[in-house]
Amino acid sequence: PKALRRNFVPAPEFARACAESLQPEGPLLPAFGTCLKRLTGHEVPEDAWDLSRLEAHLLMRIELLDEAGKILDSGRNLPALQEKWCERVPEPEPLRSSDLSRTGLVDWPPELTLPEQVELEQAGHAISAWPALADASDTVEVRLCHSPEEAATVHASGVLRLAELRLAGKLRDLLRDWPGIDRLCLLWADVASCSDFRKQLARALVQRARPEGPLPRDAEAFAAWLATLEQALPRVAPFLQERLPELLEVRHALLKQLKGTLPLNRIEAAADIRDQLDRLFGRDFLLQANDERLRQYPRYLKAIEHRLQRLDRAPDADRALRVQFLPLWQAFWARIEQTPERLAHPDWQAFRWQLEELRVALFAQQLGTLEPVSLKRLEKRWRTLET
């Protein structure tokens, strides 16, 4: 309504500032109203928004994709799309084998050997399945997968989880004596609980101590593999003990600069930087970034510091770079959110870190990059990934 609208002039500037500062969580209208109140002090009641006046192209367009990313259908009416398609894509039937069925495992049974592939009969048809040890939270279990790729991912997670269960006492001792663990938990409190942080840290240690080579598929191989991993734990811990306090302290300091009421010329950039920090320090970032990548984090954070220092002096320059870069950044993460398992693929992993290098090249060129990167080069690579 006009009586409220006059508090937000020029409207396009306020709309742009809020649109780019919003976090992708919670209902849109309350979040938009909170943003406007933060900028001006004026409250917008939720019933003041008239969504019926929006043109069709401003409503969310939903795309239904197949496994290859090809668009099967699209529209702006979710219930209609669900009704049209829900019966066409049945869930794959669980694969079962009485010979391999195991649940509730906390150790590798001596008699259990997992073949790479098995042939089963299901619904009168012969089908192939790929056995894997699967993470079941407090235990592990044998699962039959529909593809070798799925089995490889599931088995890696399951074997690492079984290692955690078998080495629980050793890991508990390591974390009990971890320097500054309480401070690390405090710095992580806005993301997850201290218990979750400790679990992530334990998994990260096991992941880094994992022996090279094929994963075990029988009890004897697992015992030898586990002994090698246990011996490596004391060697992998010091790097994280040294690096984590620095990284989390800098993250905390940067987030403090992005809080509170910000001038308009900082709001859009602040939203982008928050998003970058959320990606760098996701809930399981120690599992997503190996030690080689964590060594680059100080440079990524220093680039953010340089960007913030320049922002007040040259907001237009920051915006010009942001407008060029964000479409590629947002397209990549939209694809990852649609299909998270893509991030396990080496090509997608490499591109994810090339995007961070591009941020350094754009906003703090003086810090240098690990490899030559440019927007044009990454846009070309993105088109290849998308096909």
**Residues 318-375: pLDDT tens digits?**
999 999 999 999 999 999 988 888 888 899 999 999 999 999 999 999 999 999 999 9
Strand partners, 131: 144
Q: Judge whether 288 lies within some domain.
A: yes
> What does R_g of the chain's alpha carbons equal in angstroms?
25
pLDDT value of position 92: 54
Percent of the chain whose predicted confidence (pLDDT) is above 70: 95
The answer to whether position 359 is within a domain reads yes
Give exposure, 310-328, as e/b (b: 16+ Cβ within 10 Å). Answer: ebeeebeebbebbeebeeb
Question: Pick from 53, 75, 93: which residue ends a domain?
Answer: 53
- Residue 120 pairs with which residues in a beta bridge? 127
DSSP 60: P
166 belongs to a structural domain = no
Residue 158 in contact with residue 134, Cβ under 8 Å? yes
Q: How many domains does the chain have?
A: 2
H-helix segments, the chain: 2-5, 11-21, 28-40, 78-85, 148-166, 168-176, 181-187, 194-209, 219-257, 264-280, 285-288, 291-294, 297-311, 315-338, 346-363, 375-386
Whole-structure pTM value: 0.73
Q: What is the pLDDT of residue 94?
A: 59
Domain-embedded: residue 203? no
How far apart CA 279 and CA 145 sit, in angstroms, is 30
Is residue 75 within 8 A of residue 61, CB to CB? The reply is: yes
The string of pLDDT tens digits covering residues 262-284 is 777 788 899 999 999 999 999 99
Cα 69 to Cα 383: distance, rounded to the nearest angstrom:
13
The pLDDT, as a whole number, for residue 218 is: 97
Q: Is residue 79 pLDDT above 80, yes or no?
A: no
Instruction: Please indicate, yes or no, if residue 77 is contained in any of the structural domains.
Output: no
Does any domain span residue 218? no
- pLDDT surpasses 80 at 123: no
Is residue 169 assigned to a domain? no
Question: What angle is formed at CA 63 by the lines to CA 59 and CA 64, rounded to 5 degrees?
Answer: 145
Q: Which pLDDT score is estimated for 98?
A: 59
Q: Which 3 state secondary structure label does DSSP give 275?
A: helix
Domain that holds residue 267: 260-386
CB atoms within 10 A of CB 382: 18
CB within 8 Å of 191: residues ≥ 6 apart: 197, 281, 283
Q: Which of 53, 75, 96 marks a domain boundary? A: 53
Is 353 part of a structural domain of the chain? yes
pLDDT in tens, 96-115: 665 788 999 999 999 999 99
Inter-residue contact 284 to 200 (CB < 8 Å): yes
